[in-house]
Amino acid sequence: MSLPQSSPRSLRNWLLLAAAVAGAGTFAWFQFGSQTAPVQPDALRRMGWDAPAVVRVEPAALGQLDVQIKSIGTVTPLNTVTVQSRVSGVLEKVVFEEGARVEQGALLAEIDPLPYRAQLEQAEGQLQQNRAKLENARADLKLYEQLWEQDSIARQQLSDQRALVQELLGTVRANQAQVDDARLQLSWTRITAPLSGRLGLRKVDQGNLVTGSEAEGLVSITQTQPIAVNFTVPEVDVPALRDARRGDAPLKVEVLDRGERRVLATGELTTLDNQIDTSTGTLRVRAQFANEDEALFPNQFVNVHLRLKTLESVVTIPGDAVQFGTERNYVYVVQDNKAYVRNVVLGAAADGRVAVTEGLEPGELVVLEGLDRLRDGKQVNIPDASGAAAGAARTPAAADAVRAGQDRPGAGERRSPPPAN
């Protein structure tokens, strides 16, 4: 009797089934035969999660804190003048230098004065002529008064002479006004600086005909000493600003460059606008600066720090150490190489530091970096100046934790409550 022969397809199916059974057996051996106890804590320990967290700390400091309002301002000249000619004529001389600093009353340019000198001489001649007529009329009046006393002339003749004297008096006064006007016109041919400041670019060249109606003028002068800075204060800070301004001492204002790294000038607050701008919700204010070194340039954008008051003997910490929760603000305080959550009550903030009115004592160490690896009561290591973790055990897990704390970008930026224990 002969055995039935299998087809190639059936043989392939049996081989696949045998391979699947062998794979399942191998997986079961590795899964259940190689371990006799859970390994989760050891695995976590090898990954560094159970190792002490590496943090950077800073002690809470006792000192003073300046309460400030920060804003962006524009340097604004107190006075800007466009120098114009008051009379018409040929620009005969230009004696100023563009961009130079001038003092009030300094000569800038001259207009041909000959036509105005001729007008002055003509007015003076007319005045002199009428003064001679007035003197003659007064002499005749004196004679007529004597003859009237002797009853030698009619009263009408005396009255006419008195009227003539009064008429000539008016004529002489009109002539004197013409002389004064001609002298004033002549003086205006010398164009002088109306205020002290810095000149701009020349707008009219020598030899051109200028008139008093030209709006563009000859040159502009901008006052730079002193100079003002206009900036805005948010509506919410206006009450504090008004309270601070009621004090005896003027409020100090500092102007810094765009990067807020260098103080350009220090001045005083001078003016508050009379109403809040409803479109921006801000109040416009002005500060004035001596600007002796001309560090402030007109229309320059600057950062403004307005100091309202100075808090004395307050506990301050870096603002980055504060964690903001939905119902509380807190920090991590390090005691006995462990981090603990401490609720705090915050006060004013300035220059990256914040005042703590309740919850901290001077000298207590608050965590500044490494906050994302902390929980209440967690063991911590504080690196020394070289970056090595002080007091950390030299184990692979501790080394992994150090590297994780140093390589993690943005450490200390978390702003959520700590996880529940």
The Cβ of residue 49 has, within 10 Å, a number of other Cβ atoms equal to: 15
DSSP string, 330-378: EEEEEETTEEEEEEEEEEEEETTEEEEEES--TT-EEEEE-GGG--TTE
Q: Please give the average per-residue pLDDT across 264-292, as a whole number.
A: 95
Note the pLDDT of residue 310: 84
Tokens matching residue 408: 């993690």
Is the previous residue joined to 226 through a cis bond, with omega within 30 degrees of 0?
A: yes
Please give the Cα distance from 62 to 246 (Å, whole number).
28
Angle at 412 between CA 409 and CA 418, to 5 degrees: 120
Q: How confident is the model at residue 11 (pLDDT cuts 50, 70, 90)?
A: low
The set of residues, in sequence order, having a beta carbon less than 8 Å from that of 215 and lying 6+ positions away, is: 82, 84
Residue 254 has pLDDT above 60, yes or no: yes
Note the pLDDT of residue 288: 96
Residue 208 has pLDDT above 50, yes or no: yes
Note the pLDDT of residue 393: 36
Residue 290 has pLDDT above 80, yes or no: yes
Note the pLDDT of residue 384: 67
The b-or-e profile of 125-154 (16+ CB within 10 A means b, else e) is: ebbeebeeebeebeeebeebeeebeeeebe
Note the pLDDT of residue 43: 52
Residue 410 has pLDDT above 60, yes or no: no
Q: Residue 274: helix, strand or coil by DSSP?
A: coil
Note the pLDDT of residue 223: 95
Which helix H or strand E contains 215, and what residues bound it? none
Please give the Cα distance from 169 to 141 (Å, whole number).
13
Q: Please give the average per-residue pLDDT across 359-366, as a whole number.
A: 91
DSSP state of 320: G
Q: How confident is the model at residue 154 (pLDDT cuts 50, 70, 90)?
A: confident
Which helix H or strand E contains 117, and what residues bound it? helix 114-149
More confident position, 35 or 368: 368
Note the pLDDT of residue 349: 82
The one-letter amino acid at 374? L
What percent of the chain shows pLDDT beyond 70? 80
Note the pLDDT of residue 96: 93
Please give the Cα distance from 239 to 245 (Å, whole number).
10
CA 356 and chain centroid, separation: 28
More confident position, 27 or 112: 112
Residue 421 has pLDDT above 50, yes or no: no
Which helix H or strand E contains 403, and what residues bound it? helix 396-407
Residue 120 has pLDDT above 70, yes or no: yes
Note the pLDDT of residue 40: 53
- Model-level pTM? 0.64
For residue range 178-196, list pLDDT tens digits in order.
999 999 999 999 999 999 9
For residue range 16-45, list pLDDT tens digits in order.
777 777 776 666 655 555 444 454 555 545
Q: Mean pLDDT, the chain, as a whole number?
A: 83
Please give the Cα distance from 230 to 304 (Å, whole number).
9
Do 73 and 255 meet the contact criterion of CB atoms below 8 Å apart? yes
Which helix H or strand E contains 410, and what residues bound it? none
Which residue, 195, 197, 225, is CA-closest to 288?
A: 225
Which residue, 259, 270, 267, is CA-closest to 302?
A: 259
Q: Please give the average per-residue pLDDT across 116-144, as a whole number.
A: 94
For residue range 51-95, list pLDDT tens digits in order.
788 888 999 999 888 888 999 999 999 999 999 999 999 999 999
Residue 307 has pLDDT above 50, yes or no: yes
